[in-house]
Amino acid sequence: MNKVHTIQCGDFSLKVIEQGVGETLLIIGSADYYQRVMPESFYGHYHCVFVDHRGFSVCHRRVDESDVSLAQITQDIERVCCELNIRQCWILGHSGHAYMALDFTANSSGRIKGTILVGASPCLSKTMQALQFARWEADADENRKQIFNNNIIHLEFDIQNDPERKFVHVCCRLSAMRWFDANFNERFLWNDVPTHTAIFDKLWGNVFSEINILDYTTKIASPVLIISGSHDFSIAPPAAWLDIHPMFENAEHVLINNSGHTPMLEQPEAFDKALQQFLKKNR
């Protein structure tokens, strides 16, 4: 049975959903979105705590970029942990939320047992973008590229028509880069999820592109699992992690075949197996 909470962080009402039994797993992003994409099997062995960040939360005033930083998100997650009496747990961050998970782990004074990064490159810098597009040109088939071209021409209209949903529009129009099934329409996953464009523009446009991953690899001693999809063309290829020195003290990298940016929905059994093995090894 789900427990749903609203935790107030300043003017932002963060939705938190608890579901399942077992070891506590914090999942950062949109509580509603990530509850929809996680494998159903999770709830038999994890106590999942899905946590909104400010970009996805309800706020009844105009939002601007001063409302968010990685430090602020870390403070908000800490508040959630205190309110729910979460003393030790694992944490999972997917896509840009991986950097939020890393920042919380690095600054949480031993609260985190291990960190799971899904569909994430070391940062979103221009160098990483160049690696992403080089792989796209080399490895994406012509059908996938044509689907991308057919979709992307509608993005400008989408944003002009509904600018506060820009983040969702971008995700949906990049389907050929994000999903193993290039035609997959993810829009239903975003139903009733609030979005604040100013926050996403700052995080994805600036903060995540300027991250120095060494600030985290040199500070985090707890285990880290990096999960990548074989057909994720939306970020730099998994091999980008091989050039990071020094790497996390205790890191493992798993590639899930026949999946794109969201392997937990595309290949739920393989995803759950990888996570269970990681937790078992590092308990």
Could you tell me if 3 and 18 are in contact, meaning their C-beta atoms sit under 8 angstroms apart? Answer: yes
Q: Cα torsion for 56, 182, 95, 251, to the nearest 10°?
A: 150
Residue 201: count of CB within 10 angstroms of its CB: 14
Q: Cα torsion for 87, 90, 94, 98, to the nearest 10°?
A: 70
The full DSSP string for 135-154 is: HHHHHS-HHHHHHHHHHHTT
- Mind telling me the catalytic residues? 95, 232, 261
181/259 Cα distance (integer angstroms): 8
Let me know how many helices (H) and strands (E) the chain has, helices first: 12, 8
Q: What long-range pairs does 208-213 form, CB within 8 A, spacing at least 24?
A: 208/96, 208/99, 208/123, 208/124, 209/123, 209/124, 209/125, 209/126, 210/123, 210/125, 211/99, 211/122, 211/123, 211/124, 211/125, 212/123, 213/122, 213/123, 213/244
What letter represents residue 264's amino acid? M
Q: What are phi and psi of 215, to 5 degrees?
A: -60, -25
Run of H or E residues at 119: none
